[in-house]
Amino acid sequence: MKRLRAILALTMVVTMALSGCGPRKALPPTIVSGTVKPVALIAQAIAGTALQVHVLAGDDGAPLQNAQELASASAVVFQTGTSIDTWSSKMQQGSTRFVSLSASLDKGTLGSPWLSFRDATDMALIMRDTLDALYPDLKEQFDSRYAVFMDECSQADGRLKRLVWSAGTRTFLAEDTTWSGAAADFGLQILVQPGLKGLDLSGTEAASSVADWGSVGNTRVVVVNIATGGTVGVIRHENGIVACSLDALGATAESGFVPWLEGELTLLGSAIGK
């Protein structure tokens, strides 16, 4: 009887060892986060339905009240690495990885890199490589979706270049460098004029100021970033100013990153058009 028990015990140990019932490496949570919505949209394009993708900031770029909780529940948090999400660095704790996407960009890149298809595809490459390493069983899926994302960006970029190259001016005014990456993509010049902030573009005073500021590039096109809850669009004022209101943080995005960004840049192309 004792010999039989010993044989049974040995058999159980061998069976458990062969079936992998010993200590296992903990799997990363199937949740990833982007600090701002455009970054989360790019991550979603690569991850598809295989992972949950959260965004840590609201439409104004400020962190949500539960941002720390969302970050802690994530396997990785993708940061822009720009001034818009410096607050996220304070949330680094536990096993969550924080990946700065600015590492993929040329030194000296200005503005908001997610507004440039060129920079967005570079950021997507880092995301894909990060997810491939974290979830090797899903590598083929991530690689396939990345290829689709690259193709969609390339096609959108081509359509926009045809639109912009036929424009009446290649220069526009803006209060900051937010759209400088997009301008560089299409060979446009952005004249940064902080005095535009809060200026009533429909008024007589604005007409005089904009004419003066835009004289270098012979332009009266002004790009304005919408406030939370604002509406995008192009308004051609009677005073000659063309106001182009754009969404830099994806508040109006509904169907994905590429359609959203192409829509914004199409408005810009319309504003500078003939």
Encode pLDDT of 95-135 as tens digits.
Answer: 899 999 987 777 656 678 999 999 999 999 999 999 999 99
Q: How far apart are CA 209 and CA 241, in angstroms?
A: 10
The enclosing H or E element of 147 equals helix 139-165
**Residues 171-195: what's their mean pLDDT?**
94
Q: How far apart are CA 119 and CA 161, in angstroms?
A: 16
Per-residue pLDDT band at 16 (split at 50, 70, 90) = very low
pTM of the model: 0.87
Q: Identify the three-state secondary structure at position 54.
A: strand
Strand partners, 236: 242
Residue ranges making up the domain that contains 136: 31-160
**Residues 146-166: what's their mean pLDDT?**
94
Q: Are residues 264 and 238 in the same domain?
A: yes
Report the number of distinct structural domains present in the chain: 2
Neighbouring CB atoms inside 10 A of 228's CB total 11
Looking at 126, 160, 194, the residue that finishes a domain is 160
Q: Are residues 80 and 191 in the same domain?
A: no
221 within 8 A of 206, measured Cβ to Cβ: no
> What pLDDT is stored for residue 74 in this prediction?
96
Residue 19 in this model has a pLDDT that exceeds 50: no
98 within 8 A of 76, measured Cβ to Cβ: yes
Question: What is the dihedral sign for C-alpha 142, 48, 117, 131?
Answer: negative
Instruction: Establish how many alpha carbons lie within 13 A of residue 207's alpha carbon, considering only the half-sphere containing its beta carbon.
Output: 8
Phi and psi based region of residue 240 (left: phi greater than 0; alpha: psi -120 to 50; beta: remaining):
left
Q: Are residues 62 and 106 in the same domain?
A: yes
Percent residues over pLDDT 90 in the chain? 76
Q: Is residue 10 one of the residues assigned to a domain?
A: no
Q: Are residues 138 and 174 in the same domain?
A: no
Q: Is residue 127 one of the residues assigned to a domain?
A: yes
Q: Is residue 9 one of the residues assigned to a domain?
A: no
Per-residue pLDDT band at 8 (split at 50, 70, 90) = very low
Instruction: Establish how many alpha carbons lie within 13 A of residue 175's alpha carbon, considering only the half-sphere containing its beta carbon.
Output: 14
74 within 8 A of 33, measured Cβ to Cβ: yes
Query: Which CATH number covers residue 236?
Result: 3.40.50
223 within 8 A of 201, measured Cβ to Cβ: no
**Residues 208-225: what's their mean pLDDT?**
94
Looking at 139, 160, 181, the residue that finishes a domain is 160
Tokens of 207: 């007409």
**Residues 198-206: what's their mean pLDDT?**
93
Q: How far apart are CA 181 and CA 113, in angstroms?
A: 6
Q: Are residues 45 and 137 in the same domain?
A: yes
Q: Are residues 128 and 147 in the same domain?
A: yes
> Of 172, 181, 249, 179, which is closest to residue 218 (Cα–Cα)?
172
Q: For 33-89, what is each residue's pLDDT tens digit? A: 999 999 999 999 999 999 999 999 999 999 999 999 999 999 999 999 888 999 999
